[in-house]
Amino acid sequence: MDNEAALKQIEAWREEAGSVAILTDIDGTLAPIVPTPDMSEVSAELRELLRKLNDKYLLVAGISGRKTEDAFDLIGIEELVYFGNHGFEILRDGEVEVVPEALPYFERVQELEHRAKEELAPMGAFVEEKGITASIHYRNVPPEVGERSVEFVKAEGERLGLRVTVGRGVVEARPPVRADKGTAVRTLVEEYRPRRAMFLGDDTTDLDAFRELQALHEEGLLEEILRIGVESDEGPPEIVAEADLVVDGVGGVTNLLRALL
């Protein structure tokens, strides 16, 4: 789909807002990428846009690699739905639920996190405490420390039977259970039954959401889909290649959300 066709689709969706789900990544999409996750911030304008969209559309959900409570704190709108830890957790009615299949791996993730704090934190890597998944950030350290972080987490992940993925300045370990932004998208579509759904994302883990939207469309569960790629210097080329519409950074996302209103 070219950009012009995608923009026309957005105009049409405005008139069908009650049948539309707006699903979005947070870091790199709603909040600019920063050296460490605790510095991240969603602008007041974007929060207000999300609040208004939530009043008008069937569903607005934040799907994040962060801990679910951290994703909520970053946006701070209670009415939205939040999926955290790459689809391993969902926040409903103030309670965080973990995917039951992942719970047996909790202690192994904690062990990897503990070892990373001993081995990588002294070199400057930032070990984020996330519970059911582990994230080691190396954005603000020398390249050799980044390489060491990736090697270390891959080796420890293999030893402990965990799944390891590498993103923008971060390497992550999680239970080897199918839970990702794609499964989060499927859960929300099956539960809320939108006829149309879009996902906005900028990084490797967001491709799972793009591909799940396509699968849901092919299965007939969604009549129309839009995959919005948020272009950045560090993002994977597949984000642009697989998107129906490409926008430039957080500013482009803000303009798109304005258009949805």
The CATH number given to 3-99+179-260 is 3.40.50.1000
pLDDT in tens, 47-95: 999 999 999 999 999 999 888 998 999 999 999 999 998 899 999 778 8
Question: 218, exposed or middle or buried, with CB in 10 Å at 0-12, 13-18, 19+?
Answer: exposed
Place of tokens 């420390």: 145
pLDDT in tens, 210-231: 999 999 999 999 999 999 999 8
25 as an active site residue: the answer is yes
In eight-state DSSP terms, residue 244 is S
| Domain extents in the chain | 3-99+179-260, 101-174
CA distance 89 to 128: 16
Q: What is the pTM of this model?
A: 0.84
Q: Among residues 25, 27, 70, 206, which one is catalytic?
A: 25
Q: Are 227 and 243 in contact (CB under 8 A)?
A: yes
- Give the CATH fold of the 101-174 domain: Alpha-Beta Plaits (3.30.70)
Give the SS3 label for residue 99.
coil
